Amino acid sequence: MNQVDYLRISLIDRCNFRCQYCMPEGAEIDYILQQQLLTDVELLTLIQEVFIPVGFTRFRLTGGEPLLRPHVVELVRAIASFPQTQDLSMTTNGFLLAPIAQNLYDAGLRRINISLDSLEPEIFDQIIGNRGRGKWEQVWQGIQAAYSVGFDPLKLNVVVIPGVNDHEVLNLAALTLERNWHIRFIEFMPIGNWQLFGDRGWVSSAELRQQIRDRWGLTESQVCGAGPADVFQIPGAKGTLGFISQMSECFCDRCNRMRLSADGWLRPCLLNENGQIDLKTALRAGISTAQLQEQVRELLAIKPEINFKQRESGTEGSYTRTMSQIGG
């Protein structure tokens, strides 16, 4: 088991898109009320006085859509200022990114992942479930802005959905040929949408790699990521290709992360809520940060026993929230 030193922090459970793999059509979403969210002060207290002392040094800000969180630039600046912070990154849909990309970079954010599931505006609209002119174009502007201010390499996340965008794999991979971009292909996951899967509802990373290998060739990259992606490169390309294979090639044994929800629940596994800790309620009740540290250490000790493998039977099990509510 890898050392667990990476915390994904959901800043807000709301999103301005409704992607079918994140918030399935017809799903009833009970959004967190403002007073139920961790405040900025509470979040920074937990990071500085609980998570850093027990060994967390790398942080990723997620959502919902993290750029919907008020004062997000100030939060980035505060987290980046902690001497123990070794890495600070963000995952966003990019729609609100262009106007504040420079501010985020100046505040200390250095790595950013942007969701781009299609290069075709009509398919993009279908996936995000929020039709309207200019959505794809505004996201593309956010990507260009992030690259121009210095986020390099830039990571683009692609959830491959059978029958929707799987025909675009080669076009998306081609973005790495002349740009130092890292395209990450992610197998479609059962997050609140298990009924969509049937016997087989995802395209395996092995199949995607074979498509790319047949077109250009493919070699293992010397660039190693901080997460679960297996990294490859088209010969001569400036960028890289990552494959996240949580469905076909379970990587629980090398998971190095925990997740903090926007309302303060600490979870050891994206797809399993067993063992979760309600840190917000404890903090507001006056429990000392030393006691909270001990609770987190206890959860770290049992993390290897709480994982995605327990869900391979195809049932919903202990998981009750959609991806947007927990932060992927």
Confidence class for position 302, pLDDT limits 50, 70, 90 = confident
Annotated binding-site residue numbers for S-adenosyl-L-methionine: 21, 64, 115, 189
Confidence class for position 18, pLDDT limits 50, 70, 90 = confident
Annotated binding-site residue numbers: 8, 15, 19, 21-22, 60, 64, 91, 115, 155, 189, 252, 255, 257-259, 269
- pLDDT greater than 60 at residue 301: yes
Beta partners for residue 60, in sequence order: 8, 89
For residue 128, give the H/E element and its range.
helix 121-128
Which tens digit of pLDDT belongs to each residue from 136-157?
999 999 999 999 999 988 999 9
Q: Which residue has the tokens 């990154």?
A: 89
Q: What is the pLDDT of residue 313?
A: 44
Angle, vertex CA 5, rays to CA 116 and CA 80, nearest 5: 70
Q: What is the pLDDT of residue 28?
A: 61
- pLDDT greater than 80 at residue 108: yes
Mean pLDDT over each residue of the chain, to the nearest integer:
86
SS3 at position 58:
strand
- pLDDT greater than 50 at residue 189: yes
Q: What is the pLDDT of residue 50?
A: 98
Domains of the chain: 6-326 (3.20.20.70)
The order of strands in the sheet holding 181-187 is: 219-220, 230-233, 240-244, 181-187, 154-160, 111-115, 87-92, 58-62, 6-10, 257-260, 265-267, 277-278
Annotated binding-site residue numbers for [4Fe-4S] cluster: 15, 19, 22, 252, 255, 269
Q: If you ran DSSP here, which 8-state letter would residue 80 be given?
A: H
- pLDDT greater than 80 at residue 272: no
